[in-house]
A and B are shown apart, each in its own frame.
Chain A
Amino acid sequence: MYTKDELFQAISTVIDPEVGFNLVEMGLIYDASSDDEGNVKVTMTLSTKACPLHQMILQWVKEAVEKLPNVKSVDVEVVWEPEWNITMADDNVKKALGA
């Protein structure tokens, strides 16, 4: 129903308030897919396991995808393998963080 790029585009409206970049630029969204009935599955990670915004960020991702027309359900799964590292972020993020 939606391509991976379209779903990533929707998720890119979610900003990490600590770093100031969106989750896609940060490289935190690993995968996103949807079936024909509008069920979306997002696989993502967080920049740190102890993130105090953990639940809130998942909720924002869910809400960002739910804004797309005809989305029936959104399942956001957090994985720690592979663990996030700065090489997964895009060049703008690396430059801003001084990496």
Chain B
Amino acid sequence: MIGGFFYVLATLAVFLFHAQDLVYTSPAVISFTHLFLLGFVMMTIFGAMAQLVPVVLEVGHFGVELFYAIWPLLLIGTLLMVVGFLYSPALLPYGGTVVLISMMIFVGEIFLTIKKVKKLNLVMSSVLISNTFLFFGIIFGLLMALSYAGTISLDISQMLRAHVYSVIGGYIGITIMGLSIVLVPMFTLSHSFSLTPLRISITLMSLGVASVIFSALLNIKVLEYIGYFLSFLALPFYFYIIYIIYKTRPRKENDIYAISMMFAYSAMLVALLLAIVYFLLHKEVFLLASAWVLFFGFFGFMITGHIYKIIPFLVWFERFSPLVGKQKIPMLADMVPYKSSQAQFVFSSIGVVLVTFAILTKSETLLHGGASFLFFGGLAFVRSMLYMINFK
């Protein structure tokens, strides 16, 4: 639920952008990035991991009660960082430290949970790898926060690459790769596909992220390009396995989950194309557009789509499963509000497209129009969440 509110706040933060002079180092962009990634993406992933880890790893949490400490700390740390980037850099080390503590507890809990697993399979390995990258990513982030506030002195742009690649490629990317191979087949009822493409994809992505991190730390430029190349190479293998799952899925109905996934994967392809154009033309506007489509288009729809499956399941499990066989109970699909979920999809998708064009054309009008669509999409999303959570 907190993640949902951060989603709406992130849509409001888009109004702070200035299309004419949009650069990735501007406080509004950095603040938005942390608001969206920490407040919405991380908060939701952590919440999902609290529920999914026992399913994926087939062992109980080391200490599930630790999540009650993780969320408030992440909430406070995120707000301090967002305000710090916009108005007061002195707040950044405090926000960064609180986020660091929150994430260290999370990473520690996950590592100790994985320790209980007797034999690691591919999905479990992906959880281990992604959390290792998260560990390093937050260390780099804290060093940057200290430097940003003037406490220590280091090359921020160099550290930025290591930080961004560890967290986005290493943690969020590999987490999505690993978990989607559990969740997408579960919701589409797909079976009997080889995991080899995923194994190749995760290996290439891990090597790519490690390469970029080493290039930043050792200042070896060639490693950076090798890292980018390996990461790009990882994606077709991931797309291939998703394509196979979708092609062979028995469940072909296009519910809100299915269309959200289709939009998310299409957005990822567009983000990839924009990134390639950036590397060819070296115009920052394409990098910004690529990051935007990756964030709101891919991460956003990947998460909101899964929310429409996960929340009904959790509520149903808690509220209705004890009533099975005793009285008529709703099915999971009955718990998803049709109108607000469709409204969320339509408004948010139009918003993503409009803001992408706004970034590319530097149009203030398109930017504000897109942000307005996103905001209403965000409200519809929160309305959907409240409906599902309060379903009786």
Contact = CB atoms under 8 A, between A and B. Distances in A.
Interface of A: 13, 15, 17-20, 47-48, 50-53, 56, 60, 63-64, 83-86, 89, 94, 96-99
Contacts of B333: 20
B46 interface: no
Given A48-B189, A56-B321, A18 B332 contact: yes
A86 B313 contact: no
Contact of A52 (B55, B192, B324, B325): B55
Contacts of B189: 19, 47-48, 86, 97
Nearest to A87: B250
Given A85-B250, A97-B251, A64 B332 contact: no
B2 interface: no
B250 A97 contact: yes
Contacts of A13: 325
A17 B251 contact: no
B3 interface: no
10 contacts: A18-B331, A19-B189, A48-B185, A53-B321, A56-B321, A60-B325, A85-B191, A97-B189, A98-B251, A99-B250
Contact of A17 (B191, B192, B316): B316
Interface of B: 55-56, 182, 185-187, 189, 191-192, 250-254, 313, 316-317, 320-321, 324-325, 329, 331-333
Nearest to A88: B250
B192 A85 contact: yes
A99 B187 CA distance: 14
B54 to A, nearest CB: 8
B325 A63 contact: yes
- Specify the main secondary structure of chain A where it touches its partner: loop
A60 B192 CA distance: 27
Contacts of A63: 325
B191 A83 contact: yes
A63 B254 CA distance: 34
A91 to B, nearest CB: 13
Given A50-B56, A52-B55, A17 B332 contact: yes
Contacts of A98: 251-254
A86 B316 contact: no
Contacts of A47: 189
Contacts of B317: 52-53, 56
A94 B331 CA distance: 18
Contacts of A20: 331, 333
A52 B316 CA distance: 12
B186 A51 contact: yes
A99 B332 contact: no
A98 to B, nearest CB: 3
A52 B252 contact: no
Given A50-B56, A51-B186, 8 more contacts: A17-B332, A56-B317, A64-B325, A83-B191, A83-B192, A96-B253, A98-B251, A98-B254
